[in-house]
Amino acid sequence: MPSYDNMPEMELYQPVQIQDAVSLAARLAERGWLVGGGQDTYGWIKDRAKRPEALIDLTGIESMRGIRETADGIEIGALTTLTEIHSNEMIRSQYGVLAEAAEAVASPQIRNVGTLAGNVSQDVRCWYYRRGLQCYRAGGNLCYADTPEGQNREHALFNASRCVAVTPSDTGPALVALEATMVINSESGERTVAAEDFFVGPDVDIENPTVLRPGEILTAVRIPAKWANADYFYEKVADRNVWDFALVSLASVMRIEGGNIAESRMVCGAVECTPRRLTAVESAVRGMPRNKATADSVAGMASEGARPLNFNHFKMPLMDNLVERSLTA
Protein backbone atom coordinates (compact mmCIF):
# COMPACT_ATOMS: atom_id res chain seq x y z
CA MET A 1 0.00 0.00 0.00
CA PRO A 2 1.46 3.42 -0.91
CA SER A 3 1.88 6.16 1.65
CA TYR A 4 1.06 9.78 0.87
CA ASP A 5 2.63 13.08 1.86
CA ASN A 6 -0.69 14.89 2.11
CA MET A 7 -4.02 14.28 3.80
CA PRO A 8 -7.17 13.74 1.73
CA GLU A 9 -9.87 16.38 1.77
CA MET A 10 -12.54 16.03 4.45
CA GLU A 11 -14.74 18.17 6.64
CA LEU A 12 -13.33 19.41 9.96
CA TYR A 13 -15.39 20.26 13.03
CA GLN A 14 -13.89 21.80 16.17
CA PRO A 15 -16.42 21.89 19.01
CA VAL A 16 -15.54 23.50 22.35
CA GLN A 17 -18.30 21.90 24.44
CA ILE A 18 -18.89 18.20 25.08
CA GLN A 19 -22.55 18.48 24.13
CA ASP A 20 -21.70 19.99 20.76
CA ALA A 21 -19.21 17.17 20.13
CA VAL A 22 -21.83 14.60 21.12
CA SER A 23 -24.35 16.13 18.71
CA LEU A 24 -21.82 16.08 15.89
CA ALA A 25 -20.83 12.49 16.68
CA ALA A 26 -24.48 11.43 16.61
CA ARG A 27 -25.18 13.22 13.32
CA LEU A 28 -22.07 12.04 11.50
CA ALA A 29 -22.01 8.53 13.05
CA GLU A 30 -19.54 6.29 11.19
CA ARG A 31 -18.80 9.04 8.65
CA GLY A 32 -17.07 11.15 11.32
CA TRP A 33 -13.95 10.23 13.31
CA LEU A 34 -13.10 11.61 16.73
CA VAL A 35 -9.59 13.09 17.04
CA GLY A 36 -7.61 13.97 20.15
CA GLY A 37 -3.86 13.55 19.77
CA GLY A 38 -4.40 11.89 16.38
CA GLN A 39 -1.49 9.46 16.69
CA ASP A 40 -3.59 6.52 15.50
CA THR A 41 -6.08 8.37 13.30
CA TYR A 42 -3.69 10.29 11.07
CA GLY A 43 -1.76 7.19 10.07
CA TRP A 44 -4.94 5.48 8.88
CA ILE A 45 -5.98 8.52 6.89
CA LYS A 46 -2.58 9.32 5.42
CA ASP A 47 -2.23 5.76 4.10
CA ARG A 48 -5.82 5.93 2.73
CA ALA A 49 -6.51 2.64 4.53
CA LYS A 50 -9.69 4.16 5.98
CA ARG A 51 -11.52 7.16 4.64
CA PRO A 52 -13.73 9.09 7.05
CA GLU A 53 -15.69 11.93 5.52
CA ALA A 54 -15.17 14.23 8.51
CA LEU A 55 -13.00 14.73 11.59
CA ILE A 56 -14.36 15.93 14.93
CA ASP A 57 -11.40 17.60 16.62
CA LEU A 58 -11.95 17.38 20.38
CA THR A 59 -8.83 19.27 21.45
CA GLY A 60 -10.73 22.51 22.09
CA ILE A 61 -12.88 20.94 24.84
CA GLU A 62 -11.06 22.03 28.00
CA SER A 63 -13.44 20.12 30.29
CA MET A 64 -12.03 16.87 28.87
CA ARG A 65 -8.53 17.71 30.12
CA GLY A 66 -6.91 17.50 33.52
CA ILE A 67 -6.61 15.32 36.61
CA ARG A 68 -9.02 15.95 39.47
CA GLU A 69 -9.45 14.49 42.94
CA THR A 70 -12.91 13.13 43.66
CA ALA A 71 -14.67 11.88 46.79
CA ASP A 72 -13.54 8.34 45.94
CA GLY A 73 -10.33 8.65 43.99
CA ILE A 74 -9.40 10.64 40.90
CA GLU A 75 -10.91 11.50 37.52
CA ILE A 76 -8.71 11.92 34.45
CA GLY A 77 -10.05 13.82 31.46
CA ALA A 78 -9.93 11.76 28.29
CA LEU A 79 -7.82 14.38 26.49
CA THR A 80 -5.16 14.46 29.20
CA THR A 81 -1.85 13.67 27.57
CA LEU A 82 0.27 10.70 28.55
CA THR A 83 3.07 13.06 29.56
CA GLU A 84 0.72 14.90 31.91
CA ILE A 85 -0.31 11.58 33.46
CA HIS A 86 3.15 10.16 34.08
CA SER A 87 4.47 13.50 35.38
CA ASN A 88 1.53 14.22 37.70
CA GLU A 89 2.70 14.01 41.31
CA MET A 90 -0.61 12.65 42.64
CA ILE A 91 -0.66 9.82 40.12
CA ARG A 92 3.03 9.07 40.61
CA SER A 93 2.67 8.85 44.38
CA GLN A 94 -0.72 7.12 44.66
CA TYR A 95 -1.25 5.24 41.39
CA GLY A 96 2.30 4.55 40.28
CA VAL A 97 1.36 1.63 38.04
CA LEU A 98 -0.53 4.02 35.75
CA ALA A 99 2.28 6.58 35.78
CA GLU A 100 4.77 3.92 34.67
CA ALA A 101 2.42 2.54 32.03
CA ALA A 102 1.89 6.02 30.57
CA GLU A 103 5.64 6.62 30.54
CA ALA A 104 6.18 3.35 28.66
CA VAL A 105 4.12 4.48 25.65
CA ALA A 106 6.06 5.07 22.42
CA SER A 107 8.38 8.09 22.69
CA PRO A 108 8.42 11.46 24.50
CA GLN A 109 7.23 13.24 21.37
CA ILE A 110 4.21 10.96 21.05
CA ARG A 111 3.42 11.09 24.77
CA ASN A 112 3.41 14.89 24.58
CA VAL A 113 0.42 14.84 22.21
CA GLY A 114 -1.05 11.37 22.66
CA THR A 115 -4.03 11.20 25.01
CA LEU A 116 -5.34 8.65 27.49
CA ALA A 117 -8.50 8.17 25.42
CA GLY A 118 -6.46 7.63 22.29
CA ASN A 119 -4.22 5.07 23.94
CA VAL A 120 -7.10 2.92 25.16
CA SER A 121 -9.23 3.39 22.04
CA GLN A 122 -6.64 2.80 19.33
CA ASP A 123 -7.20 0.08 16.77
CA VAL A 124 -5.15 -3.11 16.66
CA ARG A 125 -1.68 -2.98 15.15
CA CYS A 126 -1.61 -6.13 13.00
CA TRP A 127 0.33 -5.14 9.87
CA TYR A 128 -1.85 -7.23 7.55
CA TYR A 129 -4.90 -5.30 8.74
CA ARG A 130 -3.08 -1.97 8.78
CA ARG A 131 -1.91 -2.37 5.20
CA GLY A 132 -5.42 -2.76 3.89
CA LEU A 133 -5.72 -6.51 3.36
CA GLN A 134 -9.23 -7.90 3.54
CA CYS A 135 -8.81 -9.92 6.72
CA TYR A 136 -11.66 -10.89 9.05
CA ARG A 137 -11.41 -7.59 10.93
CA ALA A 138 -11.65 -5.67 7.65
CA GLY A 139 -14.69 -7.62 6.45
CA GLY A 140 -12.86 -10.45 4.66
CA ASN A 141 -12.80 -14.17 5.33
CA LEU A 142 -9.18 -14.89 6.32
CA CYS A 143 -6.72 -14.06 9.11
CA TYR A 144 -3.40 -13.61 7.30
CA ALA A 145 -1.43 -13.74 10.56
CA ASP A 146 -2.91 -17.12 11.51
CA THR A 147 -1.65 -19.07 8.50
CA PRO A 148 1.34 -21.44 8.10
CA GLU A 149 3.48 -18.63 6.69
CA GLY A 150 1.89 -15.77 8.63
CA GLN A 151 4.13 -13.43 10.61
CA ASN A 152 2.62 -13.49 14.08
CA ARG A 153 5.30 -13.03 16.75
CA GLU A 154 3.41 -10.03 18.20
CA HIS A 155 0.00 -11.74 18.15
CA ALA A 156 -2.30 -13.43 20.67
CA LEU A 157 -1.71 -16.47 22.86
CA PHE A 158 -5.25 -16.65 24.26
CA ASN A 159 -8.90 -16.48 23.21
CA ALA A 160 -8.40 -15.56 19.58
CA SER A 161 -11.53 -15.88 17.47
CA ARG A 162 -10.78 -15.46 13.76
CA CYS A 163 -8.61 -12.38 14.49
CA VAL A 164 -5.37 -12.97 16.46
CA ALA A 165 -4.34 -9.31 16.88
CA VAL A 166 -3.74 -8.06 20.44
CA THR A 167 -4.73 -4.84 22.16
CA PRO A 168 -1.84 -2.39 21.70
CA SER A 169 -2.70 -0.18 24.69
CA ASP A 170 0.01 0.21 27.34
CA THR A 171 -2.28 2.00 29.79
CA GLY A 172 -5.15 -0.45 29.38
CA PRO A 173 -3.69 -3.20 31.62
CA ALA A 174 -2.93 -0.63 34.34
CA LEU A 175 -6.48 0.75 34.23
CA VAL A 176 -7.94 -2.75 34.45
CA ALA A 177 -5.65 -3.52 37.40
CA LEU A 178 -6.80 -0.33 39.14
CA GLU A 179 -10.50 -1.15 38.57
CA ALA A 180 -10.96 2.06 36.61
CA THR A 181 -14.30 3.14 35.18
CA MET A 182 -14.68 4.61 31.71
CA VAL A 183 -17.13 7.51 31.34
CA ILE A 184 -18.89 7.55 27.96
CA ASN A 185 -21.21 10.30 26.70
CA SER A 186 -23.75 10.25 23.87
CA GLU A 187 -27.05 11.91 23.01
CA SER A 188 -28.68 9.30 25.25
CA GLY A 189 -26.74 10.63 28.24
CA GLU A 190 -23.80 9.32 30.25
CA ARG A 191 -22.96 5.68 30.86
CA THR A 192 -20.06 4.09 32.71
CA VAL A 193 -18.23 0.89 31.87
CA ALA A 194 -15.63 -0.94 33.92
CA ALA A 195 -12.22 -0.80 32.23
CA GLU A 196 -12.21 -4.60 32.22
CA ASP A 197 -15.37 -4.55 30.08
CA PHE A 198 -14.35 -1.60 27.90
CA PHE A 199 -12.08 -3.76 25.74
CA VAL A 200 -13.80 -6.45 23.66
CA GLY A 201 -12.45 -9.40 21.73
CA PRO A 202 -13.31 -10.50 18.19
CA ASP A 203 -15.69 -13.14 19.53
CA VAL A 204 -17.86 -10.22 20.67
CA ASP A 205 -17.14 -7.72 17.87
CA ILE A 206 -14.73 -8.50 15.06
CA GLU A 207 -14.54 -4.88 13.85
CA ASN A 208 -14.31 -2.84 17.08
CA PRO A 209 -11.75 -3.39 19.87
CA THR A 210 -13.79 -1.45 22.46
CA VAL A 211 -17.43 -1.00 23.44
CA LEU A 212 -17.50 2.50 21.93
CA ARG A 213 -20.07 2.85 19.18
CA PRO A 214 -20.71 5.60 16.61
CA GLY A 215 -22.08 8.64 18.40
CA GLU A 216 -20.30 7.86 21.68
CA ILE A 217 -17.35 9.75 23.17
CA LEU A 218 -15.06 8.59 25.97
CA THR A 219 -14.88 11.74 28.11
CA ALA A 220 -13.14 10.67 31.33
CA VAL A 221 -11.59 7.81 33.29
CA ARG A 222 -12.27 7.40 37.02
CA ILE A 223 -9.94 5.48 39.33
CA PRO A 224 -11.18 4.49 42.79
CA ALA A 225 -9.24 5.24 45.95
CA LYS A 226 -9.27 1.53 46.76
CA TRP A 227 -5.87 1.02 45.13
CA ALA A 228 -4.27 4.33 46.13
CA ASN A 229 -0.77 3.80 47.55
CA ALA A 230 -0.92 0.05 46.84
CA ASP A 231 2.21 -1.95 46.13
CA TYR A 232 2.53 -2.23 42.38
CA PHE A 233 4.61 -3.56 39.52
CA TYR A 234 4.73 -2.55 35.87
CA GLU A 235 7.01 -3.78 33.13
CA LYS A 236 6.78 -3.71 29.36
CA VAL A 237 8.92 -5.96 27.19
CA ALA A 238 9.39 -4.70 23.64
CA ASP A 239 11.90 -4.97 20.83
CA ARG A 240 12.93 -1.34 21.38
CA ASN A 241 12.83 0.91 24.43
CA VAL A 242 11.04 3.68 22.54
CA TRP A 243 8.46 3.96 19.79
CA ASP A 244 7.39 0.35 20.02
CA PHE A 245 4.47 -1.75 21.17
CA ALA A 246 4.66 -4.39 23.86
CA LEU A 247 5.51 -8.01 23.18
CA VAL A 248 4.26 -8.70 26.70
CA SER A 249 3.52 -6.35 29.57
CA LEU A 250 2.32 -6.81 33.13
CA ALA A 251 0.53 -4.36 35.40
CA SER A 252 -0.18 -5.51 38.94
CA VAL A 253 -1.36 -3.94 42.18
CA MET A 254 -1.25 -5.61 45.58
CA ARG A 255 -2.68 -4.75 48.97
CA ILE A 256 -0.35 -6.04 51.69
CA GLU A 257 -1.69 -6.76 55.18
CA GLY A 258 0.37 -8.31 57.92
CA GLY A 259 3.17 -9.00 55.48
CA ASN A 260 0.92 -11.04 53.16
CA ILE A 261 -0.93 -10.30 49.92
CA ALA A 262 -4.52 -9.63 51.00
CA GLU A 263 -5.70 -8.83 47.48
CA SER A 264 -4.13 -8.37 44.07
CA ARG A 265 -4.97 -7.71 40.45
CA MET A 266 -2.54 -8.82 37.75
CA VAL A 267 -3.16 -7.91 34.11
CA CYS A 268 -1.09 -8.85 31.06
CA GLY A 269 -0.99 -6.82 27.89
CA ALA A 270 -0.20 -7.97 24.33
CA VAL A 271 -1.10 -11.63 24.90
CA GLU A 272 -4.81 -11.49 24.07
CA CYS A 273 -7.18 -9.32 22.09
CA THR A 274 -8.04 -7.61 25.40
CA PRO A 275 -5.98 -7.00 28.57
CA ARG A 276 -5.79 -10.41 30.27
CA ARG A 277 -6.56 -10.77 33.98
CA LEU A 278 -4.44 -13.48 35.61
CA THR A 279 -7.19 -14.52 37.98
CA ALA A 280 -5.70 -17.94 38.75
CA VAL A 281 -2.46 -16.32 39.89
CA GLU A 282 -4.36 -13.72 41.91
CA SER A 283 -6.24 -16.45 43.77
CA ALA A 284 -3.11 -18.54 44.32
CA VAL A 285 -1.09 -15.73 45.92
CA ARG A 286 -3.86 -14.47 48.22
CA GLY A 287 -2.67 -14.73 51.80
CA MET A 288 0.92 -15.43 50.76
CA PRO A 289 3.97 -13.23 51.32
CA ARG A 290 5.41 -11.30 48.43
CA ASN A 291 8.61 -13.28 48.00
CA LYS A 292 10.51 -15.82 45.90
CA ALA A 293 8.78 -18.81 47.50
CA THR A 294 5.39 -17.48 46.49
CA ALA A 295 6.67 -16.75 43.00
CA ASP A 296 7.97 -20.32 42.73
CA SER A 297 4.62 -21.71 43.85
CA VAL A 298 2.83 -20.13 40.87
CA ALA A 299 5.57 -20.83 38.31
CA GLY A 300 4.06 -21.41 34.88
CA MET A 301 0.54 -20.58 36.01
CA ALA A 302 0.31 -17.30 34.06
CA SER A 303 0.80 -18.98 30.69
CA GLU A 304 -1.41 -22.02 31.32
CA GLY A 305 -3.91 -22.52 28.52
CA ALA A 306 -1.91 -20.54 25.98
CA ARG A 307 -2.27 -21.55 22.33
CA PRO A 308 0.82 -20.09 20.69
CA LEU A 309 1.05 -19.43 16.98
CA ASN A 310 4.05 -20.32 14.82
CA PHE A 311 6.30 -17.49 15.96
CA ASN A 312 5.13 -16.31 19.39
CA HIS A 313 5.96 -19.19 21.73
CA PHE A 314 8.51 -16.90 23.42
CA LYS A 315 5.67 -14.91 24.97
CA MET A 316 4.83 -17.73 27.38
CA PRO A 317 8.07 -17.64 29.41
CA LEU A 318 7.95 -13.83 29.26
CA MET A 319 4.54 -13.89 30.96
CA ASP A 320 5.74 -16.29 33.64
CA ASN A 321 8.93 -14.31 34.24
CA LEU A 322 7.06 -11.03 34.62
CA VAL A 323 4.77 -12.59 37.23
CA GLU A 324 7.82 -13.84 39.11
CA ARG A 325 9.39 -10.39 38.97
CA SER A 326 6.18 -8.77 40.22
CA LEU A 327 6.22 -11.02 43.29
CA THR A 328 9.88 -10.56 44.10
CA ALA A 329 10.46 -6.90 43.18
From the list 176, 187, 147, the residue with the least C-alpha distance to 163 is 147
pLDDT above 90 (res 303) = yes
Question: Residue 34 forms beta bridges with which residues?
Answer: 56
pLDDT above 60 (res 252) = yes
From the list 248, 261, 225, the residue with the least C-alpha distance to 306 is 248
Q: What is the mean pLDDT of residues 250-256?
A: 98
Q: What is the mean pLDDT of residues 260-275?
A: 98
pLDDT score recorded for residue 41: 86
pLDDT in tens, 16-27: 999 999 999 999
pLDDT in tens, 128-155: 998 889 999 999 999 999 999 999 999 9
pLDDT score recorded for residue 2: 62
pLDDT above 70 (res 48) = no
From the list 316, 19, 310, the residue with the least C-alpha distance to 144 is 310
> Which range has the worst mean pLDDT, 38-47, 57-66, 165-174, 207-216?
38-47
pLDDT in tens, 179-233: 999 999 999 999 999 999 999 999 999 999 999 999 999 999 999 999 999 999 9
| Cα separation, 67 vs 308, whole angstroms | 40
pLDDT above 60 (res 32) = yes
pLDDT score recorded for residue 159: 94
pLDDT above 80 (res 4) = no
pLDDT score recorded for residue 233: 98
pLDDT above 90 (res 68) = yes
Query: How much is the pTM?
Result: 0.97
pLDDT above 80 (res 323) = yes
Question: Residue 56 forms beta bridges with which residues?
Answer: 13, 34
Backbone dihedral angles phi then psi of residue 144, each to the nearest 5 degrees: -70, -30
Average pLDDT in the chain: 95
| Cα separation, 59 vs 18, whole angstroms | 11
pLDDT in tens, 78-124: 999 999 999 999 999 999 999 999 999 999 999 999 999 999 999 99
